Amino acid sequence: MRKLAMVIAGLSWMAGCAQQPAKSTAAQAVAAAPAPPPEDFRTFCTHAACQHDVDVDLVQADGGKYHRHFDLLPPSVQPQLITIYPGQKVQAAATFKDGKFAGWIDASAAKADDVILSFDLEQGSIGMTLSIHNDGQKLVKLDLSKLDLQAASDEPQHTSSCPVFAGKGDFELWSEPVFEIDVVSADISPAAAGICN
């Protein structure tokens, strides 16, 4: 009897090991039923410019529709990051200290040496366009990350960008649906000019 129990336990263990979990995509992870924001986040949002009632609508690569509603999200502009979702227009200012990036602030708080940038993330038929306008007086190179709708990871990945000249606009294109763009930092050093990476 003990031998039979050991055989059954061994077969159960092998069957469990043979079953592979389904591969999840960023869209599936994000599409899971959202938990209500923790109370400390709600408290944070009473003092910060958090985003309320945000809808993300995209056409997926297979032509299907994707929709997700968020009751509450962190502010678009935070000192260490700008977050842009499809359909959003965001304006922020890059601040610098001794020529080095010091963080992001709301454009309304910008000072003379700050570089004000405007961002607009839109979807075409499937692919995405991020329009960027540099309202400042210095060329700026941005460090961008993106989270593809069908990404296997829920961590944004670095994506290339080109410098944006002072007083000019530029755009970045992706052929796939993008759920989120993060603008991590800005570079105004002479070495940033002419580098698309």
Q: What is the DSSP string of 44-113?
A: HHHHS--EEEEEEEEE-TTS-EEEEEEEEE--SEETTEEEE-TT-EEEEEEEEETTEEEEEEEGGG--TT
pLDDT at residue 5 tops 80: no
Average pLDDT, the chain: 85
Torsion of CA 132, 137, 141, 146, to 10 degrees: -30
**Of the candidates 170, 181, 183, the residue with the CA atom closest to the CA atom of residue 134:** 170
Q: Residues 3-23: what's their mean pLDDT?
A: 37
The pLDDT confidence band at residue 2, using thresholds 50, 70 and 90, is very low
The pLDDT confidence band at residue 7, using thresholds 50, 70 and 90, is very low
Q: What is the pTM of this model?
A: 0.80
